Structure 1
């Protein structure tokens, strides 16, 4: 394995992590901004008010996008196994 192959694998691994985590991160960000806006408008500064909706939203999004996340990780695994099989 040369440097180009290693760089290609690292790039693909980083892209896999980004695409697999994007739905959960986007959901947490959207819920967080919404809760922060509600807290600013009502001046209620309760810490648990931010964490509980975020956790629920992340669990729902991960449950709904589980096949997509699994497909991304499976695709990366298949590429790694094919490269091992072909001797890099």
Structure 2
């Protein structure tokens, strides 16, 4: 296994990680932004006000995208296992 192989696997891992985390993180970002706009407009400065809607939105995002996330992770893991013989032959 060469340095290029390790770098290729690391880059692919980071891309899959970013792709898998994006729906949840973007949902939390959008809901947090909307709640902060609401708080700024109404002068309500309750810190717990943003927590519950964010938690509900993230749970909904996980329910909606969970199947896709699992499929992406399984596909990536299978591609890693499929590439093991090629990587081990190079040593």
Give me the CA root mean square deviation: 0.8
Q: CA deviation at 1:31?
A: 0.2
Which position in structure 2 is the counterpart of 1:67? 67
Q: CA deviation at 1:80?
A: 1.1
CA distance in 2, matches of 1:66, 1:38: 29
CA distance in 2, matches of 1:45, 1:67: 37
Q: TM-score, normalised by structure 2?
A: 0.92
Structure 2 segments unaligned to the other structure (5+ residues): none
Which position in structure 2 is the counterpart of 1:31? 31
CA distance in 1, matches of 2:79, 2:2: 17
Q: TM-score, normalised by structure 1?
A: 0.95
Q: CA deviation at 1:87?
A: 4.2
Structure 1 segments unaligned to the other structure (5+ residues): none
> Which structure: larger Rg?
2
Which position in structure 1 is the counterpart of 2:48? 48
CA distance in 2, matches of 1:15, 1:87: 22
Which position in structure 2 is the counterpart of 1:19? 19
SS of alignment partner, residue 65 of structure 1: helix
CA distance in 2, matches of 1:71, 1:16: 11
Number of equivalenced pairs: 87
Q: CA deviation at 1:70?
A: 0.7
